[in-house]
Amino acid sequence: MLKILFASARQGYQTSAYPKADPPLPDRFRGLPVIDRTHCTSGCRLCIDACPAAALSGGAVLDLGRCLFCGACERVCPSGTIKFSQDYRLSTGKREHLVMGNETLALAAALDKKSRSLFGRSLKLRQVSAGGCNACEADTNVLSTVGWDLGRFGIQFVASPRHADGLLITGPVSNNMLSALKKTYDAVAWPKLVIAVGACAVSGGLYRGLPDVNNGADQVLPVDLYVPGCPPHPLTILDGLLRLLGKI
């Protein structure tokens, strides 16, 4: 017992201070893209052709829901029109808000007062990997570790949809998982939430348009929160959840 107490004293407080303070992010972290179309060369398609996810269209319009944050567009752009910042705040409440030009990203708004009274103090989520590669799943699982301690906000992952208030979906919703996802959703009691995490769950990601997938969660179920990224950083996921619950 003494050894445990001494070890605990040496380690100190390990949980992130967020949201009271922003945790440090590595220099290579790619967050919210900053688009300045005033420098965009007319007719230039270098960024469009370089994007593996077809997230860019003419005039440097970026669909953040498809973006893989690979940085290819930034590397090939000769005018510096697109640059990735370290802003981790990416979550939105509507799919169309993820399509960016010069405008500021419309971050997720809090649920209405009645919904916050139901979910604000205790939110139980059933995580469903609907054909994911395990990257988004891994960054979601990290939130339950001591470094993030998701439970201090009253948010927990549960094993059964019958114990859940909503679903957190990752993956492009493959045909093999479609029936299981629908049954899991049906097993959650009303009212319920649906959260799409990662480019695949938001839009289908790299697999968009293939006959084996359904191009994201909102093609199957109503989605309340979109968290883009490939995979999104745990901080990005947490920020979205707290915004939805009105805790930020």
Both tokens of residue 105?
A: 């990203």
Q: Parallel, antiparallel, or unpaired: how do β-strands 99-100 and 61-63 relate?
A: antiparallel
pLDDT at 30: 93
Other Cβ atoms closer than 10 A to 174:
19
pTM of the model: 0.91
Domain total of the chain: 2
Q: Output the pLDDT for position 17.
A: 83
The residue ranges of the chain whose pLDDT is under 50 are: none
Residue 38 sits in a domain whose CATH number is 3.30.70.3270
* End-to-end Cα distance, the chain: 39
Point out the domain boundary residue: 100, 125, 141.
Answer: 100
Co-location of 154 and 206 in the same domain: yes
Question: DSSP secondary structure string, 68-91?
Answer: ----HHHHH-SS--EEE-S-----
Specify if 80 maps to a domain. Answer: yes
| Domain containing residue 161: CATH number | 3.40.50.12280
- Does 46 share its domain with 155? no
Residues 53 and 128 in one domain: no
pLDDT, residue 236, reads 96
* Structural domain containing residue 82: 33-100
Instruction: For residue 3, tell me if it sits in a domain.
Output: no
pLDDT in tens, 82-129: 899 999 999 999 999 999 875 678 899 999 999 888 898 899 999 999
